[in-house]
Structure 1
């Protein structure tokens, strides 16, 4: 029996290798010298002195971990203060911190998708939203990408039924922006809720970097729920669900990904809280990211590469196939530039590409060199 199931796993691994879909862990040192265009630290706050100092003070005060779930011993002053300021920043009545953005999305979708609810999910949604839909126990319809008319047709085909429309704001692969205002018009007219994963827009778009929902003028709308991760622009870890107080109460009482999970370490919560303060005042960093996004698209397009039009700090560069994408990313890495390599199933359309994530903490000289390397290593 043991031999048979291990043999089956080996066959699956061989099939993935033939298809160019193997993955590898590559541990990095603290002084890793590569130019980082693969990580998600958009504002460069993971190493900001004030952020690191705040986390260090909390580490001394609270110790390494939270020591329990939020409902046992895991809730601290650090969590409560972070939640208050997240709600204020995002313009919502309340906010609840999870240990990861993935768990926040699972919890939010499952909380909103009660029995009999129709869930309408954008075709390009992140895996965490897809998994939330799959485990919701209710009917899920996949909508055409960023298509309010398509969403309206789906909802109109289920009149009178409670519904939730699920989308990202900035989509995580190509970096395009969802038409949030138009989607909200569709959901409001039909009595549906709108759930927006703002992970790649928080810190980048909107007033004081409050995100794509705020940029669309929807902050605080009673029929809009916002989720986000704190592992991107805020440079730390953890996730948040923000919306009406009744939703947060429901999650505290019933959310399995909240109740049964050990809390985010207090030191991380404190560091993220300081990063939030820095991010709100970081208009200069946001302006730098906008200029770098425009420069990246211009330079790579001029070199004959197909590049997505970035709405924030994420963009993709198409590769001929999964093996070509792997080789391209490896060649860049060998020349000191880290880029993301996205292949199926991470890409919703089945194509492969490099994903570039811009970082305001990278020097101008290193950034220019990184663009040269990407062009020179192109297949």
Structure 2
């Protein structure tokens, strides 16, 4: 059982707990935007224009231009035709799932798919390896009239990259919608952090929809759906979307002004991950997708050992309380090289 800390401040390089400081290698603030003073200043300026929230339906008869501008920018960044923002990644996923359920799609889930895309509360995605699942997929979907293939862009818990070559082997004669949750990839993987979209083969017979939380690398309290204009237009007209409160517009305004900060964060993250790969991977302790800021270990006892050394790791049961604790090191742009070097030194002590 992992020790639970309760603190009264936003975690950054360090956290304070009971009078002691710990280096923080957890969370999902990969680009460090929430901790950035410069980004906070952009948000403060934007709050002066937009306030703290916009309590209205996005389908109302008063529209804020900032939503259209930010969604156009997100779509262009990712490579999609259009984008639609919501109040969270969970809401983005459920907006897509509810739309497909109404269209009577049959759902086929990939391993460890995030609960944001579950179509029933007690769904348990398959536990087979991703390669095995992909090999079986053409036969599985061949029996369905219309199918939604639903999966993550990568295994963010175990730091395993997913390849999407199997998309080319799917049958072309039946309606298939491919729904990919890129919550842990957007802002991190792909060209300059543009996410998974451009890495997925674009097949005319397959409709691609990508969802993501913006609260991770992007540092915004909301979610996004990315896809073609017809599909997202249909989702926008659903009662589900119309009844959702939107992401606070001040955050999208800060996003529109924050190009330099996002670029700096991504470049710093690349340097930090490269250093962590150099120092941590030779230990043989970690599973790691190249270039990704998560280092996963089966050795759960690493967590209490490093805690004694003043280093706090991610280690708790996820996505359900019945799952085993997942112990992993998370690298962020706010880390300094000496933080990673100190971590690596204690990891080597643990092995010895």
| TM superposition score normalised by structure 2 | 0.83
Pair 1:370–1:275, CA change in 2 (3 A): farther
Q: Is the 1:230–1:236 contact (alpha carbons within 8 Å) kept by the matching residues of 2?
A: yes
Q: Displacement, 1:185?
A: 3.7
Match of 1:172 among 143, 156, 160: 156
| More moved, 172-181 vs 368-377 | 368-377
| More moved, 60-69 vs 213-222 | 213-222
Deviations 1:326-370 (A, max 9, x none): xx535534543221113255499x543312221122000011112
| More moved, 259-268 vs 26-35 | 26-35
SS in 1 for 2:225: strand
Which residue of structure 2 aligns with residue 3 of structure 1? Answer: none
Q: Is the 1:93–1:220 contact (alpha carbons within 8 Å) kept by the matching residues of 2?
A: no
* 1:318 matched to 2:298: yes
Which residue of structure 2 aligns with residue 362 of structure 1? Answer: 335
* 1:291 matched to 2:274: yes
Q: Is the 1:195–1:224 contact (alpha carbons within 8 Å) kept by the matching residues of 2?
A: yes
Q: Is the 1:222–1:244 contact (alpha carbons within 8 Å) kept by the matching residues of 2?
A: no
Which residue of structure 2 aligns with residue 6 of structure 1? Answer: none
Aligned length: 341
Q: Displacement, 1:238?
A: 0.9
Q: Is the 2:172–2:205 contact (alpha carbons within 8 Å) kept by the matching residues of 1?
A: no
SS in 2 for 1:242: strand
Deviations 1:38-93 (A, max 9, x none): 11121222233442222111111121222333334895333222111001111111
Separation in 1 of the partners of 2:254 and 2:155? 26
| TM superposition score normalised by structure 1 | 0.78
* 1:353 matched to 2:326: yes
Which residue of structure 2 aligns with residue 91 of structure 1? Answer: 79
Q: Displacement, 1:225?
A: 0.7
Match of 2:6 among 26, 35, 41: 26
Q: Is the 1:58–1:270 contact (alpha carbons within 8 Å) kept by the matching residues of 2?
A: yes
Q: Is the 2:43–2:254 contact (alpha carbons within 8 Å) kept by the matching residues of 1?
A: yes
Which residue of structure 2 aligns with residue 105 of structure 1? Answer: 93
Q: Is the 2:150–2:179 contact (alpha carbons within 8 Å) kept by the matching residues of 1?
A: yes
Separation in 2 of the partners of 1:115 and 1:107? 13
Match of 2:188 among 192, 199, 204: 204
RMSD: 3.3
| Superposition map of 1:207-286 within 5 A | 207-216=191-200, 218=202, 223-254=207-238, 256=240, 258-275=241-258, 278-279=261-262, 284-285=267-268
* 1:339 matched to 2:313: yes
Pair 1:145–1:235, CA change in 2 (3 A): same
SS in 2 for 1:248: helix
Q: By percentage of residues, which structure has more helix?
A: 1
Which residue of structure 1 aligns with residue 18 of structure 2? Answer: none
Q: Is the 1:155–1:190 contact (alpha carbons within 8 Å) kept by the matching residues of 2?
A: no
Match of 1:134 among 120, 123, 133: 120
| More moved, 222-231 vs 271-280 | 271-280
